[in-house]
Amino acid sequence: MDWRRLNGERIDLPLVEAVESTILRERAQGFHLKLCIGTDSQVRGDDVEFATVIVFLREGRGGFMFIRNEKLRQEMGIRERMILEVGRSVEVAYQLCDLLDRYNIPLEVHADINTDPHFKSNIALREAMGYIMGMGFAFKMKPDAFASSSCADKVV
């Protein structure tokens, strides 16, 4: 999968190597990092477009992100789409968890699922929580899931 920065610059290294070099660079500059991973999607005609982001938070100093966009031509309901969003985030988190453990960097998986039962996305709340927790990751849901509901939402 192709990853890029917000300015459109492609990330040519494999993801784990790109994240590790970013960690080393940020640490050399004295920053303490936390990573948040989230995915959002939009239905556009017959396509479902996904954006997955890795948000690098610099403690007290803002942050930046890596972005991956994907498009599927598939009809799906809201529950399936929410679970696919979570699955994409968990897949990336799983790729990075050993690296982040090595550098003692906290990780959160953010799900664009509303905890308010009046919203459609709430239908997938239990499955998403079980999936993320079952994989051993810390998670956030709306309104605290900024990686998916704000960052990924802007680039999908």
Give 112-142 pLDDT, tens digit per residue.
Answer: 887 777 777 777 788 888 888 888 999 898 8
Domains in the chain, CATH or no CATH each: 3-155 (3.30.420)
Contact between residue 56 and residue 105 where contact means Cβ atoms under 8 Å apart: no
As a dihedral over the C-alpha atoms of residue 71, residue 95, residue 100, residue 62, rounded to 10 degrees, the angle is 0
Distance CA 135, CA 11 (A): 27
Give me the residues of the chain with pLDDT under 50, please: none
Task: Say what the pLDDT of residue 127 is.
Answer: 84
Task: Say what the pLDDT of residue 74 is.
Answer: 84
Task: Say what the pLDDT of residue 87 is.
Answer: 94
Task: Say what the pLDDT of residue 58 is.
Answer: 96
DSSP assignments along 111-123, one per residue: EEEESSTTSGGGG
Distance CA 40, CA 149 (A): 7
